[in-house]
Amino acid sequence: MLSRSLSLFSYRLCHTSIRPIAIHTRKMSDLSIELTAPNGKTYSQPTGLFINNEWVASSKGNKITSISPTDESEIASVHAAEPEDVDKAVEAARAAFKGPWRDMSPTERGDLMFKLSQLVSDNAELLATIETWDNGKPYQVALNEDLAEVAGCLKYYAGYADKVHGQVIDTGAAKLAYTIREPVGVCGQIIPWNYPLGMAAWKLGPALACGNTIVLKAAEQTPLSILVFANLIKEAGFPPGVVNILNGQGRVAGAAIAQHLGIDKIAFTGSTATGKEIMKSAAINMKNITLETGGKSPLMVFDDADLDQAVKWSHIGIMSNMGQICTATSRILVQEGVYDKFVEAFKEHVGKTSKIGDPFSEETFQGPQVTKAQYDRVLSYIEAGKSEGATLAMGGEAYKNVGDGKGFFVSPTIFTHVKANMRVFREEVFGPFVVIVSFKDEEEALEKANDTTYGLGSAVFTKDVVKAHRIARKVEAGMVWINSSQDSDFRIPFGGVKQSGIGRELGEAGLEAYSNKKAVHVNLGTWL
């Protein structure tokens, strides 16, 4: 997912201390607070619900507290939406859809999106700071990769705003037939915690380009950056109600969005289990749905591959973003002839490159897992791998050599001699955790690669281009990387098969999910 951490190949081990910068807070109003981040940047953090271009309190006053995964300290508390608040957001979105937004010229809509893209670029350092503080990802990645992609994705779809159109279909002289591409309506969008602003841009971009209005719910684990982004939406000049942004618990606000009769479409990125529940809820009024869910993606290394490149890309494929990527190539399948050599080279590269530490340090490659729950989940799979008889080749423990020993850090973990029936081979871990399995030939590689309920990403390393294309045809996945991993692009469709989701995001294909084709038949000569 996304083009991750390519700039971090050169990072080397230097130090593991967190800079002793005091965190200051000062109350600005009931719906904002002044914060000073660990890198010294001071800003005003909204804490309310963004409905109809205004900040409002939640109906019951319940709040969510953001915890820094680096040192486990509280950052801020924000209002948590209730079903009544979702009702208000949907009402605002519906009014905007029926009002000036839908009748606005597509070129004007595109101009607003261009302005928003520019505002993201102008505020990239602040937004990256919040993402790093709230999420734990390295600041250099948040700034140079994530925020660059947010601005780029919005700019890309801004260019499409006045290019979403129908066509004339020639059926003969007696009929004029044409299609109109119309917006779906009010869209509910539920984004994950691993790329908070990145996933928001993936969904907002095509939805806005097609003329829809939006009720977006952020992940309760990472509620902060999207609220600062909301201010940029208003500053860009979007009419009230076009984009409404809520924080809230998934089981409360998320469920209310999925079940809401006033919402026409749901787009969700997250776990497969939650995706299934959203499908059930969305069936209440047969909502249009797009789901991007879990993965257990294979990466196949053949004995004719450039082994050095295979090692480096395999590292990026699983260890970037702390392994918290839905497309993470977490099952490395290596041909028997180079298996031992690959394992040793991979362990050496991980040891040199996966520098764990303060995410605001330029030397850091790997920050903490996003929450204590995710940290515990990764550690539990380490114990599962041991108990099932897999060989722990590297890592396998909590990492405490950062700051005062707090934080949700896990050492990069490698298991070898893994069998296909083991949980660590079959289940998504979502951490810096990889299994390396051998195969004899192409047939067995494909058999093991496809032996999964998921089908999101996949990768193959070989110098034989014919074999590479052949495998790309046969592997059961929505995406295939040949001699790379994770270098996705917002101009290229993204999505999975099997239990990895429904539909596609990004590229021109991403527009399909946010527009309907209406057919118009004009009788020019068939008279009764």
Catalytic residues: 292
DSSP secondary structure letter of residue 144: I
**How far is Cα 103 from Cα 96, in angstroms, rounded to an integer?**
10
Place of tokens 């045809």: 473
Amino acid at position 119, single letter: L
179 in Cβ contact with 520 (< 8 Å): yes
**How far is Cα 70 from Cα 135, in angstroms, rounded to an integer?**
9
CA torsion sign for 137, 140, 143, 148 is: negative
Q: How many residues does the chain have?
A: 528
| Strand arrangement of the beta sheet that strand 515-523 belongs to | 168-169, 175-183, 515-523
19 in Cβ contact with 360 (< 8 Å): yes
**How far is Cα 528 from Cα 510, in angstroms, rounded to an integer?**
43
Please give the distance of CA 473 from its chain centroid, rounded to a whole number: 26
Tokens for 381?
């799979």
Please give the distance of CA 437 from its chain centroid, rounded to a whole number: 27
**How far is Cα 484 from Cα 402, in angstroms, rounded to an integer?**
31
249 in Cβ contact with 64 (< 8 Å): yes
Residues 6+ apart with CB under 8 A from 172: none
3-state secondary structure of 444: helix
Residues 6+ apart with CB under 8 A from 489: 3, 506
In whole angstroms, how far apart are CA 461 and each of 276, 469, 484?
Answer: 33, 11, 7
DSSP secondary structure letter of residue 142: I
**How far is Cα 134 from Cα 29, in angstroms, rounded to an integer?**
21
Nearest-10 Cα torsion for 473, 475, 477, 481: -80
Count Cβ atoms below 10 Å from residue 522 Cβ, excluding itself: 9
DSSP secondary structure letter of residue 461: E
Closest Cα to residue 511, out of 496, 497, 490?
Answer: 490
